[in-house]
Structure 1
């Protein structure tokens, strides 16, 4: 949960780099919350909960995605490849699962060298 909150605290931080753990923990908690809200919304016969939650985490999701791409040495513009049906999503998953560059790159120092967001 700390990784999720760390991403939310860095709400619109598109600069820098994000570790794989930060990105995937945010994604895991995000999906779990979305599923719970979808179930509650289904019981209440409304999609308002999931819609509001989706809007609330849109910018942090984009920001952590951009920072994750920065960690692999890619520009944040690579997120746009996700607009290509099927292939784009697969490419982004591969990029997000790729280990980050251990050395300093154009987007900053390696986040592994910086203490974790514990």
Structure 2
């Protein structure tokens, strides 16, 4: 199974799909930051394409969405959350921790701190129950 995960990971486009959508395996710190950068880019482009000029900023700095776009907004938000969890679970696996720890991302203040910490902690150098160590 670990060999399959490693071959999926190194297979070009399949590697990107694995990094963004699969919950199995491990990623190192560099891959974590790159995957989050890709997610941010995709999210910004999707937001612009889907919502265009229909989102307005109020004078007090809040975003205003027309009610008709709220289902689309929720769909984009849920997709982004799914990918965030997939990336984070693989990073947690690299540390030897279970993926359920990614639930901290549901709490904004803790989630932001956890996001940074996951990107800074060095993973385990040896294979663990989540797969072989990613290249460092």
* Alignment TM-score, normalising by the size of structure 2: 0.62
39, 43, 52: which one aligns with 2:48: 39
Alignment of 1:23-102 (within 5 A): 23-40=32-49, 41-45=51-55, 46=69, 51-102=74-125
Distance in 1 (CA, whole Å) between partners of 2:111 and 2:129 is: 24
- The number of equivalent residue pairs is 112
The structure in which a higher percent of residues are helix is 2
Task: Determine if contact 1:4/1:26 at 8 Å carries over to the other structure.
Answer: no
Distance in 2 (CA, whole Å) between partners of 1:53 and 1:37 is: 8
Larger radius of gyration: 2
Unaligned 5+ runs, structure 1: 114-118
SS at match of 2:131: coil
Partner in structure 1 of residue 66 of structure 2: none
Unaligned 5+ runs, structure 2: 1-10, 56-68
* Alignment TM-score, normalising by the size of structure 1: 0.70
Task: Determine if contact 1:3/1:25 at 8 Å carries over to the other structure.
Answer: no
